[in-house]
Amino acid sequence: LKGMGLGAAALSVSSGGSAEAAMDAEQTTPGKAIGSPRTRVEGRDKVSGKARYTADLEVDRLVHGAMVTATIARGRITAIDTSATLASPGVIGVIDHRNAPRLNPKAGTPFFGPDGQLQLLQDNLIVNGGWPVALVVAQTPEQARAGAEQLRVSYVEQPPDIAFSPDHPALRPALPTFGPDANKGDLDAELARSAVVVDERYTTPAQQSCAMEPHVATVWLENGAVRASDSNQAPYGVAASLATLFDKPLAEVRVQVEQVGGGFGSKTGVGPQLILATMAAMVFRRPVRVQLSREEVFLTTSSRPRTDQRVRLGADRDGRLRAIGHEAAFEISGKAEFIENCVEIAKTLYAADAIRTRINVVPLNILPVASVRAPGTAPGSFALESAMDELAERLLMDPLELRKRNEPEVGPVSGLPFTSRNFHRCLSEGARRFGWAGRDHRPRRRREGGLLIGTGMAGTSFFTSAFPSSATITAERDGTFTVSIAAIDIGTGARTALQAIAADALHVGWDRIRLKIGDSAIGPAWQAGGSLGTTSWGWAIVAAAADLREKLASGPPLPVSVTSDTTEAITSRPHRERHSYSAIFAEVAVDPATGEVRVRRLVGRFAVGRVVNPLMVRSQLVGGMIMGLSIALQEEIVRDEVTGRHVNADFAGYHFAANADVPFIDADFVDDHEPDDPLGMKGPGEIGVVAVAAAIANAVWHATGKRQRDLPIRLDRVV
Ligand code: MOS
């Protein structure tokens, strides 16, 4: 639902002409667009097949590239025999490390610096299984694939190291990019003074984003400049990185995209499809399309790292927390830094006298790790919120009450004020809707026939902010407004949301807004990522609209344009604790004979600031909760311990929820408003994913009496 927007699209088709016309009329009233549950502006195009994705674009003289990936996980290439490939029908040529254009080794990401993951076909070294070693270009995709299968690559193989453990000798601190470790108070002293202590380890597996649309790019050259259509979450950021990578001025690189079929983190940066297609366009002087197969998405894009987390909690008899210790280790590739910031919520969610966090990495021979659906907080909340449930068990206390007793007045580590903190409200409203009151907190008390029934809950905070962006608005002669921003709609409904924001900011009906997005040439803008697309783009649109209205007051001749830049406004804000919040409640039925866990009910209550479009935000939260369910019960990348190869690189082997796995989901908002955002918004994008795994694991304990400290909660871990 989140990826493709099918929920809302289906609604727009079934809602019938008259209801839709009435809704449209209401929304053309100035000042009424924000808060209205309007269906997606492109919904009809999506369900009727008119919407154009990158692989749908027709391009003259287009040729196709197919990847060849390493069959070893560590070693080096000793020879590449292209003769059979070059003799294969339709094949135009082969690019490998011997003839590929040279790339700028300093290219990287703003957060993590130079990124070796981008350095494709630059040398003969292999440090992870599935690493791209060549691109075969042919007249048709089938001919390229057939040619790729005939490429003979010889290797010298070395044993790969994929054995992740917090005791690995290569363990070292993660980059401090997202802030230093917490070192509040004396953790050991407070644990010693505590009446009840929890000290447990939790593990989570590698996972992948699994967007419905595989990564795809089409690249051509225009007077030496690079033009690309690429499925990504950040047209401006991707163009800027691509320019650095190929040593070109940004003015000579333009990345556009109309529709994107989901990203979930995997399309925030420059993907292998775009790098290889750009190389091929330069080498063969033809427009080139590279579309990854599903297996190649698994092998060559990015994944969420495995984590191993130790949580220590200490509390008085009445449940007041004295100590929170959260130490996390996660795996990375030796090629690229990343921070799976598992310990973030330990710094913000609960008050305690002592709070200590540590976060370490273990470099291994694995696919580079990067953003996947609520990076850090999804695995981190599983550990912290499972430990809170274990603490409630040992205190013989209601786990909901335990959380309410530890509400902080200010940031527990930072000491900074909260802007708007509505965690309590999420807990109370969620509990009421779920029917939590009267729960027997002891495990293994409820049975229905042969099934064990249990309930569980968990909560989270989620960082919210806005990133500098720019928007241009033109007041046209015909009374319409052209609003241009290098935003992107990855299926979430961003187009529809931004149109509403622009309409209200300009005090006109939404039918007078022409929105232009998905083009790096428009100017700097944040990505559809970090749950901060709409807050970042919305701010830029509001700023431009205010300037434009001032300019129009004097009645100048049209057209008139203004361009905003929110850098100063955003960076000069006072430091405060800004977060979204959620509370999740789950009911499960467990078959003790087979270990099968069925989730029967999921209730989520969310404080996500002002809601621009309740239909879409609810859809996104429900989609997130389904991902949380998948993380709890199903998702797991499995690597062969001998070869280091990813053995379930497809949707047959990598499981996630299908419709029959998903119960009725009740997601709703509590009243919330972010005072530090010009529209009162917080990012609702990813918080739905978080806290669901802990709520389900806690419910499985309540049903069975057996703790689930390792995800996913497979059958063999239940029986
Ligand atoms: Mo999201 S994982 O920040 O695209």
Query: pLDDT of 322-333, one tens digit each?
Result: 999 999 999 999
Catalytic residue among 337, 636, 674, 686: 686
Given this model, what pLDDT does residue 111 score?
Answer: 83
Q: How far is the CA of 248 from the centre of ligand 1 (A)?
A: 27
Q: How far is the CA of 337 from the centre of ligand 1 (A)?
A: 16
Cis preceding-peptide flag for 712 (omega within 30 of 0):
yes
* Interacting residues of 649 by C-beta distance below 8 A, sequence separation 6+: 130, 294, 295, 298, 299
pLDDT for 397 beyond 80? yes
State if residue 372 touches ligand 1 by the CB under 6 angstroms criterion.
Answer: yes
Q: Among 589, 629, 600, which residue's Cα sits nearest to residue 711?
A: 629
Q: Among 342, 340, 345, 343, which residue's Cα sits nearest to residue 305?
A: 340
Q: How far is the CA of 264 from the centre of ligand 1 (A)?
A: 5
Amino acid at 299: L
Q: Are 135 and 145 in contact (CB under 8 A)?
A: no
Q: Per-residue pLDDT tens for 377-386? A: 999 999 999 9
Test site for ligand 1: of 373, 526, 534, 690, most ligand atoms within 8 A of the Cβ = 373
Test site for ligand 1: of 536, 627, 686, most ligand atoms within 8 A of the Cβ = 686
Q: What is the mean pLDDT of the chain?
A: 95
Gap between the Cα atoms of 108 and 337, Å rounded: 10
Given this model, what pLDDT does residue 255 score?
Answer: 98
Mean pLDDT of 130-157: 98
Neighbours of 147 (CB within 10 A): 26
The question of whether 686 is a catalytic residue gets the answer yes
Gap between the Cα atoms of 68 and 66, Å rounded: 7
Neighbours of 715 (CB within 10 A): 12
Amino acid at 506: L
Which residue in this structure is represented by tokens 């560590």? 74
Given this model, what pLDDT does residue 5 score?
Answer: 33
Q: How far is the CA of 74 from the centre of ligand 1 (A)?
A: 29
Mean pLDDT of 686-710: 98
Residue 351 has which token pair? Answer: 């008050």
Residue intervals in the chain for CATH 3.30.365.10: 6-55+467-570, 172-207+303-464+578-718
Residue intervals in the chain for CATH 3.90.1170.50: 61-159+212-262+267-300
Categorize the per-residue pLDDT at 426 as very low, low, confident or very high, splitting at 50, 70 and 90: very high
State if residue 373 touches ligand 1 by the CB under 6 angstroms criterion.
Answer: yes
Given this model, what pLDDT does residue 30 score?
Answer: 83
3-state helix, strand, coil in the chain (%, to 5): 30, 25, 45
**532 Cα nearest atom in ligand 1:** 3
State if residue 268 touches ligand 1 by the CB under 6 angstroms criterion.
Answer: yes
Gap between the Cα atoms of 543 and 539, Å rounded: 6
Test site for ligand 1: of 268, 341, 377, 492, most ligand atoms within 8 A of the Cβ = 268
**685 Cα nearest atom in ligand 1:** 1
Mean pLDDT of 526-547: 98
Test site for ligand 1: of 371, 687, 690, most ligand atoms within 8 A of the Cβ = 371
**375 Cα nearest atom in ligand 1:** 2
Neighbours of 85 (CB within 10 A): 23
235-245 and 272-284 helices, crossing angle to 10°? 50
Fold of 172-207+303-464+578-718: Aldehyde Oxidoreductase; domain 4 (3.30.365)
* Interacting residues of 494 by C-beta distance below 8 A, sequence separation 6+: 487, 488, 517, 528, 533, 534, 537
Q: Per-residue pLDDT tens for 475-529? A: 999 999 999 999 999 999 999 999 999 999 999 999 999 999 999 999 999 999 9
Residue 408 has which token pair? Answer: 């902080």
Categorize the per-residue pLDDT at 112 as very low, low, confident or very high, splitting at 50, 70 and 90: confident
Q: Whose CA is nearest to atom 2 of ligand 1?
A: 265
Residue 307 vs residues 71, 164, 330, 530, 688: alpha-carbon distances, Å: 26, 9, 4, 20, 20
State if residue 375 touches ligand 1 by the CB under 6 angstroms criterion.
Answer: yes
Q: Whose CA is nearest to atom 4 of ligand 1?
A: 265
Helix (H) or strand (E) holding 421: none
Q: Per-residue pLDDT tens for 570-599? A: 999 999 999 999 999 999 999 999 999 999
Q: Per-residue pLDDT tens for 326-354? A: 999 999 999 999 999 999 999 999 999 99
Question: Lowest-confidence range among 14-18, 229-233, 336-340, 690-694?
Answer: 14-18
Q: Residue 197: left (phi > 0), alpha (psi -120 to 50), or beta?
A: beta
First-to-last C-alpha distance (Å) of the chain: 32
Q: How far is the CA of 267 from the centre of ligand 1 (A)?
A: 8
Give SS3 for 339: coil
Portion of the chain with pLDDT greater than 90, in percent: 93
State if residue 371 touches ligand 1 by the CB under 6 angstroms criterion.
Answer: yes
Q: How far is the CA of 373 from the centre of ligand 1 (A)?
A: 5
Categorize the per-residue pLDDT at 642 as very low, low, confident or very high, splitting at 50, 70 and 90: confident
**531 Cα nearest atom in ligand 1:** 3
Q: How far is the CA of 530 from the centre of ligand 1 (A)?
A: 5
Q: How far is the CA of 268 from the centre of ligand 1 (A)?
A: 7
Q: How far is the CA of 265 from the centre of ligand 1 (A)?
A: 4
Q: How far is the CA of 686 from the centre of ligand 1 (A)?
A: 7
**266 Cα nearest atom in ligand 1:** 4
Residue 306 has which token pair? Answer: 């495995």
- Provide the residue count of the chain: 719
Which residue in this structure is represented by tokens 């509390």? 315
Partners of 69 in beta bridges? 132
Q: Dihedral of CA 668/673/674/679: which sign? A: positive
Given this model, what pLDDT does residue 3 score?
Answer: 35
**374 Cα nearest atom in ligand 1:** 2
Q: How far is the CA of 531 from the centre of ligand 1 (A)?
A: 7
State if residue 237 touches ligand 1 by the CB under 6 angstroms criterion.
Answer: no
Helix (H) or strand (E) holding 428: helix 423-434
* Interacting residues of 442 by C-beta distance below 8 A, sequence separation 6+: none
**268 Cα nearest atom in ligand 1:** 4
Give SS3 for 519: strand
State if residue 303 touches ligand 1 by the CB under 6 angstroms criterion.
Answer: no
Question: Lowest-confidence range among 10-14, 200-204, 535-539, 566-570?
Answer: 10-14
What are the two backbone dihedrals, phi and then psi, of residue 311, each rounded to the nearest 5 degrees? -120, 130
Gap between the Cα atoms of 267 and 214, Å rounded: 10
Gap between the Cα atoms of 178 and 176, Å rounded: 6
State if residue 263 touches ligand 1 by the CB under 6 angstroms criterion.
Answer: yes
Portion of the chain with pLDDT greater than 70, in percent: 96
Q: What DSSP state is assigned to residue 136?
A: E
Mean pLDDT of 67-92: 98
Give the architecture-level CATH label for domain 6-55+467-570. Answer: 2-Layer Sandwich (3.30)
Gap between the Cα atoms of 613 and 44, Å rounded: 18
pLDDT for 2 beyond 60? no
Mean pLDDT of 185-204: 98
State if residue 260 touches ligand 1 by the CB under 6 angstroms criterion.
Answer: no
State if residue 265 touches ligand 1 by the CB under 6 angstroms criterion.
Answer: yes
Q: Are 305 and 207 in contact (CB under 8 A)?
A: no
Helix (H) or strand (E) holding 314: strand 307-315
State if residue 529 touches ligand 1 by the CB under 6 angstroms criterion.
Answer: yes
Categorize the per-residue pLDDT at 614 as very low, low, confident or very high, splitting at 50, 70 and 90: very high
**527 Cα nearest atom in ligand 1:** 4
pLDDT for 12 beyond 60? no
Rg (CA), the chain: 26
- ipTM of model: 0.97
**263 Cα nearest atom in ligand 1:** 4
Categorize the per-residue pLDDT at 16 as very low, low, confident or very high, splitting at 50, 70 and 90: very low
Burial class (CB in 10 A: 0-12, 13-18, 19+), 3: buried
Gap between the Cα atoms of 244 and 238, Å rounded: 10
Mean pLDDT of 650-673: 96
Categorize the per-residue pLDDT at 18 as very low, low, confident or very high, splitting at 50, 70 and 90: low
Fold of 61-159+212-262+267-300: Aldehyde Oxidoreductase; domain 3 (3.90.1170)
